[in-house]
Structure 1
Amino acid sequence: MEIGTAAANAYMKAAQSAVKVEGGADELSGISGQPFGQFLDAAISKTTGAASQAENAITSAAMGNADLVDVVTAVAAAEATLETVVAVRDQVIKAYQEVMRMPI
């Protein structure tokens, strides 16, 4: 049951950072905003955008128009974004597997 709790906590933290919480409450019932599918679409868009920025920085550096520090920063940001999305995905899969194991 520990996996389900970890997944719920990971989802809660991600959801709270993406949407406003009404009345400052930290309860799931207080979260309003976009559906989960739209939340995932936004996360994937951010990941794609970060990867695109990193590619542009690498191309600029290869052409001599960008500093190496800018390239490293863009690549690190893209990597952190991708790792976050992968971690959330893993927790969602674990939570789904836990739900599927529950007796009816």
Structure 2
Amino acid sequence: MDINALSQISPIRTQSMQNLQTPAEVTKGFSAFLTDALNQVNQAQVDSANMADRFAAGNVEIHQVTIASQKASVMLDLTMQVRNKVIESYQEIMRMSI
């Protein structure tokens, strides 16, 4: 096997130096991501409540209400689990001695 042939391979570049984001831009992007995710959870809760109201009026079937309700429930449960893990991580970091 020719080792010199391996030296001719160029390194893989994931990002060029021009595309690097500042910490403020990354934080802003992460904040926007979290805000969007929470808005989606809220919208699922609102849709579930609206679907239940429409069912009471006789406009939708029970399976549609059940699906919307379960979807909203799973999204809320996931959000709460992520929140709990973030809080646990924060508490663990605060307990570390410097």
Fold match, TM over 0.5? yes
Alignment correspondent of 1:97: 91
Count of residue correspondences: 74
Runs of 5+ consecutive residues of structure 2 not aligned to the other structure = 1-11, 15-20, 22-27
SS of 1:60's partner is helix
Percent of counterpart pairs with the same letter?
A: 32
Separation (CA, whole Å) in 2 of partners of 1:84 and 1:35: 21
Map of 1:59-98 to 2, 5 A cutoff? 59-98=53-92
Displacement of 1:38: 1.7
| 1:1-104 map, 5 Å | 35-104=29-98
> What is the TM-score of this pair, normalised by structure 1?
0.66
RMSD (Å) for aligned C-alpha atoms? 1.9
Task: Give the TM-score, by structure 2 length.
Answer: 0.69
Tell which has more relative contact order, 1 or 2 (C-alpha 8 A, sep 6+). 1
Tell me the alpha carbon deviations over residues 33-88 of structure 1, each in whole angstroms, 9 at most, x when there is no partner: x6322222111101101001101110110000000000000000000000010000
